[in-house]
Amino acid sequence: MSGEKFIYGGLDPPPTALKRAISMSWGLGGWLLTPMIEKIGMEKFQGMRQRVGREIKTTFASSYAQEISLREML
């Protein structure tokens, strides 16, 4: 069982709590978009955007089993 966890968005300001029982080896990491673009450069960033555009229906496709409203979720 992998202990690698990913948090997408991170808009919730409270601290992130992890139960250490997830595995014996675990990690949590993240990055912010603006510093990442500055690090890799605009040319590489544009190439990444173009790749997403080309592969939006394959590599980056998503599927959903059900759609619920915000009211239903709450």
Give per-10-residue mean pLDDT for the chain (74 aa): 64 76 72 87 96 93 87 86
Q: Which residues contact 70 (CB under 8 A, 6 or more apart)?
A: none
Where along the chain do its domains lie? 3-59
* Tokens 């997408």 belong to residue: 8
Asked whether the whole model's pTM tops 0.85, one would answer: no
Q: What is the pLDDT at residue 33?
A: 84
